[in-house]
Every structure is written in structure tokens, then in C-alpha cells.
Amino acid sequence: MELYELSIEEAHRRLKQKEISSVELTRAVLERIAAVDSRVDAFLKVSENKALAQAKAADQKIAGGHCEPLTGIPLAVKDVICTRGLETTCGSRILENFLPPYSATVIEKLGHTGAVMLGKTNMDEFAMGSSTENSGFKNTRNPWDLTRVPGGSSGGSAAAVAADMCLGALGSDTGGSIRQPASFCSTVGLKPSYGRVSRFGLVAFASSLDQIGPLSKNVADCALMLNAIAGYDSADSTSVPADVPDYAGALKEGLKGIRVGIPVEYAAAEGMHAEVSDAVANAVRVIEDMGARTIEVSLPHTQYALAAYYVIAPSEASSNLARYDGVKYGVRDADQYDLLQMYRRTRSRGFGPEVQRRIIIGTYCLSAGYYDAYYGKASQVRTLIVQDFQKAFESCDVLLCPVAPAPAFKIGEKVDDPLTMYLSDIFTLSANLAGIPGMSIPCGFSKKGLPIGLQLLGRHFNEEMLLKVAYNFERVTDFHKKRPDL
């Protein structure tokens, strides 16, 4: 096995026993990036010198007897998370060459553990998209089939993990942007509960929906990464001061007595691919064989979730993105005009079509005379969706459903049809509206060899239940062990 193929758990063991050094591991991963990323295009920026310097510092830390689970581990970061002194563009031309003067809390936390930051991964512009085709710089390709999308908006992070160009990565999830690319690329992806992980330094798309989370090669690695980044942060007013359990310690064998809810509404969703249904049904049988009890539950307001989301998210985006005006920071149109023309030309040239579309939708929904009819009504629907989940969790411990209606689609197939593209998030965005944790794990492959993911949803701040179920499913299957042939 090559060093870049190691899991975080195995790499930590070898580092701790001094079988390998962090510099050796980091160089192997950097060489892997150089060998395959020209075909995948997962990275926007690779910081080789900085990564090797951090690896040397990690080796010194290990030599002094301090080796935490992420010490010396090469990781990648979605380019929507601020990194001091390293470009953070959010995949947008309007922030081209922007250097943040501070790092996000999650980056500071990873730095304290001695993790190695390889660079920034590609994404849909300002996290708006489901395919990473909305990046202002380039398209990322799915390592399993280079003619297909990796999902989005964290497609660069998912593709980098799947192609062994890092041992783990951070993404962000506003409506499925960790879980859907994890499904398309056969990685593990977790969206924590809203408030579990600090959003300080995460460039905002929709502030009431955004959440940072890990993408990894297996469930144990996901737990280790969540251990490192979870916890209260006084710099983030949406952070919740709740106790953080040892997620790695929650990975216990056995599912006997666990109640797994199967939402009946998801089975009849529009555009459901037969191979996805079969893979999920097989996963249900596997989990039942391990002692879990499955029961049908209802989430009756699921049919309104997509419409509510695409009112709330664009409305919040319209407000958050008003700051990019060519005055404070970022790109400004070079030609000289009056102030209003400068605003107009800067934003028209700096933002891509999808971002402009959502800003316009959001501004309309928030405008006088329409706020109550659209944003107000969508907020009421959101409350009903929260209540649906609360009622479902009275009779079950975890919900199980697909991540996406179909495997990864071809590049360019849906880019000109926004409504069809939005349906890619039909199973994932309810979790963001409700603020509950959601997780994607590999559960099969289509006849064309494309990955299929299984989604687990849990109660607020009960990520350990998701990890436990996922860990037990992973123990008796080998989907997570397969790697694309690059």
C-alpha cells in the first residue's frame, strides 16, 4: 500500500510508532496530487512549502512524545473556509487573490492538533450548486468517471479524498453540499448539527443553514476529524455550548435494539433511480441482519422542503453577498464609472450566473410586499419540517434514506436546467432546514461502476448515533475500501 492510500487511523498509528514521518507522508500525498490532479482538478491552490513546513513541525512534536490523532496528517480544506495568508476565493472571481487576515476557528483547531494543510479545494461559487460546475475557475471531475460531476458544492474536497490526494478534507453543507458529493465520490461525509461546529471564518452563503463538516475515507476517520473541530466557540453567536462526546469512542460494535426509521415519502420521490433504490434496500437488509429494527415513519411536509429551501437560502444569500460591492475588498471593475455603475459592473463580472440568479430570487423574496408571502411562509414551513423530524424521532433512533435520487450525472447534463439540478438535493436539504445531523456512507455501485451513498439522519447533537450505525454497516461491507482507477 502506498502512503497516500492510508487512512487517518492507520497513518496515525504508523506516525506514533515512528514507522514513517509526517514529511514522508506529506511528500507522498503531494506527489499524488502532482500525478493525478491535472485530470481531476480538485484543488484550486496547493501550498507545498507551507505543508512541508507544517509536516516538519509535526515530526518535532511527535519526537517530543505528543502525537494526537491528526498530528502530521495531510488534510485539504474547501475554499469557503478562511485561512490566514492563503487565498480564499469561495470559487468566485469576485474574491480572486483575496488573502484573509485571520483563520477560521476550525483551521485554528486543526492547527493546534498539528495537522498539515495541503491547500484549498474547488467548489461551486459561494457554495451555490450541486455539481462544482459553478466554480468561477474550473470544473472538478469525478475520480470514478472523469466525464461526470463529483457533486457539489464540496465537490473538490470529496474528489480529493476519493482520489487519495489527501487523507481527509473539510467541506461545508448548506443543503447537502457535503453529503451529496460524498455519495457521488464514495467517501464518508458528515454534516454536524447546526451549532455543533463553529462557523467563525466560514464565508456565509445562508447563515441559518451553513455548517462545516468532515469528508473522509472511512467512518473512524470521520469521527477523529469531528473530535478535532467540534465544540463551542464564543466567536460564533450560533455556536451551542453543549458537551462534546468522544466520537471515536462511540464506534461500538452491535446494533441490537437500535430503531431505524424509513421515511415513506422518500421512496416515492421524483426521479428516483432504480439502482439507488436497490442499493438502499440492500443496506436496510444488512442493518436488520445486525439486529436493528426498522419501522416506517412519515415526514409529511417533505414535499414542501425544496420550495421552502429555495426561498430561505437565496434570501439569506442576497443579504450576505451584498458586501461584495467592489469597495471593501475583492475585485473591482477596473473601468472608471459613477458609483452605481461601478457596483453593477463589479457584481456582474465578479459573480457567475448561478450566484446572480439566487441573489435576484432572494432580493425579490425579501422585497416589500413579498416578504410575508414568500420568506415568511417558507419559515413557517421550516417549523413544520422541524416538527416532522421531532415526531419521527419519538419512535426511532436514526432515519435511513438515499442521499441523492441518482448516481453522478454527466458534466454539462444539467447545468442549463437549474430546476432539475435543484432536485439533486431533494433528500438532503431537509436536514439543514431542521438543523439536525446528516451523514453519507458508501452503500453500493451502479452497473456503470458509479458510487451510491446511504444517508443517515439523527436527533440534534446526536452525531454519535449516526457514527455508530455507519461504523457497524462499514464493518460488514467493503464499499468504502474500493478506490477509483486513476
Enzyme catalytic residues: 78, 153, 177
Show the cell assigned to 119: 491547500
Indicate the pairing of strand 43-46 with strand 451-457: unpaired
Sign of CA dihedral 93, 97, 103, 109: positive
DSSP 8-state class, residue 290: T
Query: From CA 383, how far away is CA 389, in angstroms rounded?
Result: 10
Indicate the pairing of strand 259-263 with strand 212-216: unpaired
Which run of H or of E encompasses 228? helix 219-229
Query: From CA 325, how far away is CA 118, in angstroms rounded?
Result: 31
Burial class (CB in 10 A: 0-12, 13-18, 19+), 467: buried
**Which residues neighbour 173 within 8 Å (Cβ) at sequence distance 6 or greater?**
154, 179, 189, 191, 210, 211, 212, 213, 428, 432, 438
Query: From CA 169, how far away is CA 166, in angstroms rounded?
Result: 7
Distances (CA, A) of 65 to 25, 53, 58: 19, 19, 11
List, in sequence order, every residue forming a beta bridge with 301; answer none if it has no partner.
Answer: none
User: Are 8 and 216 in contact, with CB atoms under 8 Å apart?
Assistant: yes
Distances (CA, A) of 95 to 86, 326, 421: 12, 10, 25
Query: What's the CA dihedral at 243, 203, 210, 461 to 10 degrees?
Result: -10
